[in-house]
Amino acid sequence: MGAALCLLSAACFGAMAIFGKLAYDAGVSPGALLLVRFALAAVLLGIVLLVRPGLRRAASGSPRGEAAGRPAMTRGRVTAVAVGLGAVGYATQASLFFSALRLMDASLLALILYTYPVMVTVVAVLLGRDRLTPARGAALAAASGGTLLVLLGAGGVSFHPLGALLAFTSAITYTVYILVADTVVHRLAPVALSALVMTGAAGTLGARALLTGGVDLRFGAPGWLWLACIAVVSTVVAMLTFFAGLRRTGPSTAAIMSTFEPVVTAALATVFLGESLTPVQLAGGALVLSSVAVLQLRRAGARTNPSPAAVRRAGPVRRPGSAGPSPGAELHARPVRCGPDHP
């Protein structure tokens, strides 16, 4: 389920480039796109929480619990971190991304941005939140190589030093965003966390608009249609599924799964923008999908084949008819942990 949620999130985020292109063609400015995107998403999530107050409560017994490397937090601090994720992290990352997009080709921008799965994995391992297993290392290499092929297969690109700097800073910001989100994602329900993040981002962008003279909202119905698609599909649904997936898989796996996003973007550009997929891009997409398969096979193996150390921790198993607990009772009573991202 965690992998499926991460892939759905990547697909929704991947559609944003297509919606954004169509919104720009309809006369929407980057500033208006960002402000309306986050403000509308915050309003929609607020309505959902009012209609379904039960969604405010996190499910008991988080799949990953209070894992290693995640400090204890009070409720007030959790709320502050969630708002800060949007006000500082997401607003900054989105602004850097769209600023870079005005200076350089989208394919090179995405190539630089998608250095973040490597950074997330390395930092998560150093912090003790994840382990760099051979399977995860192979999946990361396949996903990174596949992303490279998908993006370079789009053809020639133009390099802009400032744009490249903005793009790399955006990747660093997103790395920090994912790692910080991992400290609160199991303490808040996905809908509540997403609402707080969107509210924080909308607040920052709204304040910036006031200080810079506002944004131009005088565009037609087509522009509002594509903005609504960005807010609903590529923000609300994408964020809800990402946080739910992150909660189940951990930061490294979630970041690797997110490399499915440029594959979706390239496929949608072929369907809706008349672009064509090259053999190199198809090979890259296959590599990205293979990384997903590797991660899933590893998790399936962990579920069906607990390690000897885990069996020893579970205690002895008695023969039928002897005194004591039933066969495997200790093993079934205490879940086997197969690593930081155990199922």
pLDDT tens track for 108-122: 677 678 778 878 888
In this structure, which amino acid lies at residue 75? R
In angstroms, what CA-CA distances link 328 with 245, 301, 323? Answer: 31, 19, 13
In this structure, which amino acid lies at residue 291? S
Q: Which pTM value belongs to this model?
A: 0.70
Q: Give buried/exposed letters for 294-322 (b at 16+ CB in 10 A, else e).
A: bbbebbeebeeebeeebeeebeeeeeeee
pLDDT tens track for 145-166: 777 776 666 565 556 788 888 9
Q: What is the pLDDT of residue 174?
A: 92
DSSP-derived secondary structure letter, 58: P
Confidence of residue 207 (pLDDT cuts 50, 70, 90): very high
pLDDT tens track for 2-60: 888 988 998 898 888 788 888 888 999 888 999 999 999 999 999 999 998 888 776 54
Cβ 227 vs Cβ 31: under 8 Å: no
In angstroms, what CA-CA distances link 170 with 7, 40, 107, 114, 174? Answer: 21, 23, 15, 10, 6
Confidence of residue 83 (pLDDT cuts 50, 70, 90): very high
Whose CA is closest to 63, among 117, 13, 126, 5?
A: 5
Query: What CA–CA distance (Å, rounded) separates 94 from 81?
Result: 18
Tokens, residue 248 = 């189940």
Confidence of residue 257 (pLDDT cuts 50, 70, 90): confident
Q: Give buried/exposed letters for 196-226 (b at 16+ CB in 10 A, else e).
A: bbbbbbbbbbbeebeeeeebeeebeeebbeb
Q: Which residue has the higher pLDDT, 129 or 230?
A: 230
Q: What is the pLDDT of residue 71?
A: 61
